[in-house]
Amino acid sequence: MKLLGLTSMERTRYLIKFYYIGSDKYFGSQRQSDFETIETQITRSLFETNYIKDIKTAGFEVASRTDKFVSARGACFSFLSEKKPILMEINSALPRDIGLWASSEVTKDFSSRFNAIYRHYKYIFPLPENKREKYNLKLMKKASKVFEGRHNFLNFSKREKEDITTVRDMLLADCSKEGDYLVFNFTSQAFLRQQIRRMVAKILDVGNGILAFDELIKMFNSEEFISYQPADPKGLILWDIYYGDKINFTIDTKSHERMMRYFSTEFTKYSLKQKLFAILQRDNIG
């Protein structure tokens, strides 16, 4: 099509992999009109670097939504653009705690949300220094395996107003100990809101003797809703989203280096703070 002597350029859909660190700065990942979110930052950067002119016509779609304080290493979004993405150009318009690091061309009808084969989440739990021995790892591994397979996860999710099914297929659920931390891994095609944090909360309850293993099994009875607090969102990480062998992501070297430098800097900063407060706790004044 020609307009005023100019030929309109063909648009291509791109699938992008990105990271972000959940904090007080962002009210979760999903775009909201009155709050700053991860998605708001991403779309703003695409506007500023002239990759999109309108969110709706660009077909912008995020693969997964996360709550406030939840982080991601391998989150994904897709959009239509006439320009082939230069990730470092887009990253230049983003704060350091958000970054794009890999991309792939996909078909125009591709859905970053619905074409996902499975999503992989990790949950990191710091073992309390004075209670580490109270957590029975063998029992928590056993409790984790209960969640694998097809189940009604009503009692392991936040009750929503929408009429949605709470049946999900859990491909993997496991628990391991790495130093002074417990690391949980969960993979499924889709998760319910707060599902992982609520599963972790109950696995921990089994591990420290608060909840009997048989009582955990009874919670799968969807007719008996039980209210309780989910685990802290700060420990949850959207680790990766898998789309199958037909989607080949190209890692952008400079963008990946930017990500790893940021992680290294933050690790050093918080390691120092952790050591500082550990030493301060030993000072028994008086």
Q: What does the DSSP 8-state code read for residue 32? A: B
Give the C-alpha separation, 34 to 71, whole Å. Answer: 21
Among the candidates 239, 263, 279, a domain finishes at 239
The pLDDT tens digits of the residues spanning 69-106 come to 999 999 999 999 999 999 999 999 999 999 999 999 99
Q: What is the pLDDT of residue 274?
A: 85
Adjacent-strand bridge partners of 177: 182
Judge contact between 151 and 220, C-beta under 8 A.
Answer: yes
**Do 90 and 122 belong together in one domain?**
no
pLDDT over 50 (residue 2): no
Q: What is the pLDDT of residue 142?
A: 98
Judge contact between 69 and 234, C-beta under 8 A.
Answer: yes
**Do 15 and 124 belong together in one domain?**
no
**Do 28 and 86 belong together in one domain?**
yes
The pLDDT tens digits of the residues spanning 196-239 come to 999 999 999 999 999 999 999 999 986 777 889 999 999 999 99
pLDDT over 50 (residue 273): yes
Structure tokens belonging to residue 127? 């073992």
Mean pLDDT of 27-42: 89
Q: What are phi and psi of 75, to 5 degrees?
A: -70, 160
* Domain that includes residue 32, residue range: 7-115
**Do 50 and 132 belong together in one domain?**
no
Among the candidates 70, 87, 115, a domain finishes at 115
**Do 98 and 210 belong together in one domain?**
no
**Do 229 and 123 belong together in one domain?**
yes
Give the C-alpha separation, 28 to 32, whole Å. Answer: 9
The pLDDT tens digits of the residues spanning 148-166 come to 999 999 999 988 766 688 9
pLDDT over 60 (residue 268): yes
**Domain contains 252:** no
Q: Kindly report the pTM of this predicted structure.
A: 0.92
**Domain contains 272:** no
**Domain contains 283:** no
Judge contact between 71 and 22, C-beta under 8 A.
Answer: yes
**Do 60 and 170 belong together in one domain?**
no
Among the candidates 99, 115, 131, a domain finishes at 115
Give the C-alpha separation, 188 to 62, whole Å. Answer: 17
**Do 102 and 131 belong together in one domain?**
no
Q: Is 12 helix (H, G, I), strand (E, B) or coil?
A: strand
**Domain contains 208:** yes
pLDDT over 60 (residue 1): no
> How many domains is the chain partitioned into structurally?
2
Give the C-alpha separation, 172 to 147, whole Å. Answer: 8
Using only C-alpha atoms, the chain has a radius of gyration, in whole angstroms, of: 21
Nearest-10 Cα torsion for 126, 131, 134, 137? 20
